[in-house]
């Protein structure tokens, strides 16, 4: 056998590790060369590619709906409390006896529209806010809204804002009882103290010639306590002298005017007609007035006209709005309060004040105005 193969095998046994290393290096170099070529191709493809750029135009964003957030905040800030007249958490539900055809004593919920046992229809339940539980004239809803006690019958006479109008009057006038600059119509504080028929206060007694066609007229009070010398245009006791007719059919006649009323006085002749005069008092400042139909009346810089005077009271009209107001009689309770006398507290079952005059108008002469005392 030749010795050449033996020598090769011996060389491989001696150098096989070196041969393996060389083969691994060759494989790594081939892999690196393949990777390099792949990278170069990818780079060439990327350079040649056409890139699509995103638009730089801006779009308006839709507004964010904050209603749910606001409701959540409102609920979080609202203090935990039971709703008014809700009694089904701490005590048993309010129940009443059912109205049914069998007259059976069947308890049902207060607000049930039908009997839960017989299904018989039940009377309509008045909303708690529309009721007047304490009978002070103010609805429960009004009292609850402004912090009054729906179970206290005395808070209707109080004056929360100090504007001179009671809480009850603010409720009736649908105004805010906590705001002193908002109050009901001023005529609500006007009262009739007395209505009487008064003989005409003046008499035409004489004429004085002053020369040059000028004349003065002698007017005496019916009581003869005072005399006036007046010319046309003068005002005497609330009457304006507007005309003199020396050749009138009944004799020399002097015409006076008050409001829309005219009075024709004949010299030396008693004027037999009567006037209807009403005595009024303004409760806010206790001002007193004696008025006739057609007279003007001013309350806190607001002007009114006397429209009618009758047994039931006086009707006045707001000159600015044209609205009419009925002025009622002074009650006994208000009269005692004006005199500083002790008053009876409380109201009748229908909510009206106790002590109101049955006849509507005052019968005794307590009015301080001088015209009403004649």
Percent of the chain, pLDDT > 90?
39
Mean predicted confidence (pLDDT) in 28-37: 90
In a domain, 183, yes or no: no
In a domain, 98, yes or no: no
Tokens of 80: 């935990």
Same domain, 205 and 285: no
Looking up residue 228, the CATH number of its domain turns out to be: 2.30.30
Would you state the pLDDT for residue 362?
39
Same domain, 297 and 192: yes
CA separation for the pair 347, 352 (Å, rounded): 6
Same domain, 301 and 192: yes
Would you state the pLDDT for residue 165?
92
Residue-wise pLDDT tens digits, 159-175: 999 999 999 999 999 99
Do residues 279 and 289 touch, judged by C-beta distance below 8 A? yes
CA dihedral 189, 194, 195, 196 (to 10 degrees): -160
In a domain, 16, yes or no: no
In a domain, 138, yes or no: no
Mean predicted confidence (pLDDT) in 281-286: 92
Would you state the pLDDT for residue 266?
92
CA 141 to chain centre: 13
Per the structure, the count of domains in the chain is 2
Do residues 293 and 260 touch, judged by C-beta distance below 8 A? yes
Mean predicted confidence (pLDDT) in 124-133: 86
Task: Give the pLDDT band (50/70/90) at residue 319.
Answer: very high
Quote the domain boundaries for residue 258: 201-272
Phi, psi of 148 (to 5 degrees): -85, 170
Task: Give the pLDDT band (50/70/90) at residue 89.
Answer: low
Of 312 and 53, more confident = 312
CA separation for the pair 203, 267 (Å, rounded): 8
Would you state the pLDDT for residue 224?
83
Would you state the pLDDT for residue 90?
60
Tokens of 203: 């008499």
Q: Whole-number mean pLDDT of the chain?
A: 82
Domain boundary at 225, 251, 272, which?
272
Same domain, 192 and 280: yes
End-to-end alpha carbon distance in the chain = 176
**Max CA pair span of the chain:** 190
Mean predicted confidence (pLDDT) in 267-280: 86
Q: Which of 127, 103, 101, 123 is nearest to 113 (CA)?
A: 123
Q: Tell me which residue has tokens 């409701």.
A: 71
Of 294 and 2, more confident = 294
Would you state the pLDDT for residue 145?
92
CA separation for the pair 145, 129 (Å, rounded): 10
Would you state the pLDDT for residue 11?
76
Would you state the pLDDT for residue 55?
66
Would you state the pLDDT for residue 152?
92
Q: What is the DSSP string of 229-288?
A: EE-TT-EETTEEEEEEETT-TTSSEEEEEETTEEEEEETT-----EEEEEEEEETTTTEE
Residue-wise pLDDT tens digits, 167-201: 999 999 999 999 999 999 999 999 999 998 878 88
Same domain, 211 and 355: no
Domain boundary at 272, 288, 304, which?
272
Range of weakest confidence among 12-16, 63-67, 144-148, 298-302 = 12-16
Within the chain, residue ranges assigned H as helices are: 4-48, 67-77, 140-145, 167-172, 332-339
Task: Give the pLDDT band (50/70/90) at residue 125.
Answer: confident
Same domain, 357 and 305: yes
Mean predicted confidence (pLDDT) in 259-284: 86
Same domain, 192 and 322: yes
Would you state the pLDDT for residue 223?
81
Mean predicted confidence (pLDDT) in 22-37: 90
Percent of the chain, pLDDT > 70?
84
Would you state the pLDDT for residue 374?
43
Range of weakest confidence among 21-30, 49-58, 95-104, 180-189 = 49-58
Same domain, 295 and 362: yes
Mean predicted confidence (pLDDT) in 250-274: 87
Mean predicted confidence (pLDDT) in 124-143: 89
Would you state the pLDDT for residue 261?
79
Same domain, 283 and 342: yes
Residue 88 has pLDDT above 60, yes or no: no
CA separation for the pair 303, 318 (Å, rounded): 6
């Amino acid at each position: 056998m030749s010795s050449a193969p033996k020598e090769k095998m011996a060389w491989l046994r001696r150098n096989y590790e070196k041969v393996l290393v060389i083969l691994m290096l060759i494989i790594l170099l081939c892999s690196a060369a393949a990777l390099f070529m792949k990278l170069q191709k990818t780079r060439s493809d990327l350079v040649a590619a056409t890139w699509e750029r995103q638009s730089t135009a801006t779009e308006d964003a839709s507004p964010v709906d904050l209603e749910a957030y606001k409701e959540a905040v409102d609920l979080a800030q609202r203090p935990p409390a039971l709703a008014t007249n809700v009694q089904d958490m701490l005590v048993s539900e309010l129940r009443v006896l059912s109205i049914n055809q069998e007259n059976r004593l069947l308890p049902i919920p207060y607000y049930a529209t039908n009997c839960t046992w017989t299904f018989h229809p039940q009377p309509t339940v008045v909303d708690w806010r529309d009721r007047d539980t304490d009978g002070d004239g103010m609805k429960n809803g009004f009292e609850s809204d402004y912090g009054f006690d729906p179970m206290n019958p005395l808070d209707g006479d109080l004056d929360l804002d100090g504007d001179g109008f009671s809480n009850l009057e603010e409720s009736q006038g649908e105004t805010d009882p906590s705001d002193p600059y908002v109050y009901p119509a001023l005529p609500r504080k006007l009262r009739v103290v007395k209505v009487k028929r008064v003989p005409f206060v003046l008499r035409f007694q004489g004429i004085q010639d002053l020369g040059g066609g000028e004349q003065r007229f002698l007017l005496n009070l019916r009581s003869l306590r005072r005399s006036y010398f007046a010319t046309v245009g003068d005002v005497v006791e609330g009457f304006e002298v507007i005309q003199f007719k020396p050749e009138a059919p009944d004799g020399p006649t002097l015409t006076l005017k008050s409001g829309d009323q005219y009075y024709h006085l004949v010299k030396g002749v008693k004027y037999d007609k009567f006037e209807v005069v009403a005595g009024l008092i303004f409760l806010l400042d206790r001002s007193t007035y004696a008025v006739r139909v057609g007279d003007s009346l001013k309350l806190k810089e607001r002007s009114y006209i006397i429209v009618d005077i009758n047994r039931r009271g006086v009707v006045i009209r707001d000159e600015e709005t044209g609205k009419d107001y009925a002025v009622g009689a002074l009650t006994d309770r208000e009269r005692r309060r004006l005199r500083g006398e002790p008053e009876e507290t409380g109201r009748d079952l229908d909510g009206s004040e106790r002590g109101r005059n049955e006849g509507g108008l005052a019968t005794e002469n307590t009015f301080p105005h001088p015209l009403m005392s004649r």
